[in-house]
Amino acid sequence: VDAFQAWCGPCKTAVDLFRKIRNEIGSDLLHFAVAEVDSVDALAKYRGKSEPVFLFYAEGELVATVRGLNAPLLQKTILEQL
């Protein structure tokens, strides 16, 4: 989940990265979503940040968080979680 604030919008670069990874591994386990933290009470702790936050869930549980657009770390985290 790309957790973003309305004033900065979702991270378009991350969408391209996730598409590339999904095409390479061909996994139906990888799903990408965006959530505006200002309108989701459960994400209130991510408000007021000027960097994107990527939340990784498995079976409904938060399993990893990556702050900032660090493509190598995002890719590593995705592969580890899959």
Predicted confidence (pLDDT) per residue in 10-44, tens digit: 677 777 888 888 888 877 778 888 888 888 898 88
Residue 50 has pLDDT above 80, yes or no: no
CATH for 24 = 3.40.30.10
Which is nearest to 47 in space by CA: 34, 37, 56, 55?
A: 37
Whole-Å CA distances, 74 to 38, 42, 44 = 23, 22, 22
- In the chain, the number of structural domains is 1
Residues 53 and 19: beta-carbon distance below 8 Å: no
**Tell me, what's the pLDDT at 5?**
81
Q: Residue 77: give the domain boundaries.
A: 2-81
Distance CA 55, CA 82 (A): 14
